[in-house]
Amino acid sequence: HLDVDAHRQYLPAWQEDANDPKLVSSVERTQHEAGYINDLAMARCARQRINFVVDGTMRKAEHTQRNIQRMREESAQWKNCGARGNLMMRPLRVTIVFVAADVDVCLERVALRTAETGRPVVKECNQQCRESVKALSKRVNLFTHLKNNRDGLKFVAGSAQELKAFAFSAPHKLGRVWV
Contacts of 107 (CB under 8 A, 6+ apart): none
* 97 pLDDT more than 50: yes
Structural domain spans, the chain: 2-173
Terminal CA-to-CA distance of the chain, rounded, Å?
Answer: 23
Express each pLDDT in 2-20 by its tens digit: 898 899 999 999 999 999 8
Distance (Å, whole) CA 49 – CA 43: 10
DSSP type of residue 169? S
Express each pLDDT in 37-85 by its tens digit: 999 999 998 888 888 888 888 888 999 999 999 999 988 887 776 666 6
Contacts of 14 (CB under 8 A, 6+ apart): 8, 22, 26, 30
Average pLDDT over residues 130-156: 93
Q: What is the CATH number that goes with domain 2-173?
A: 3.40.50.300
* 156 pLDDT more than 90: yes
| HSE toward the beta carbon, residue 170, CA cutoff 13 A | 7
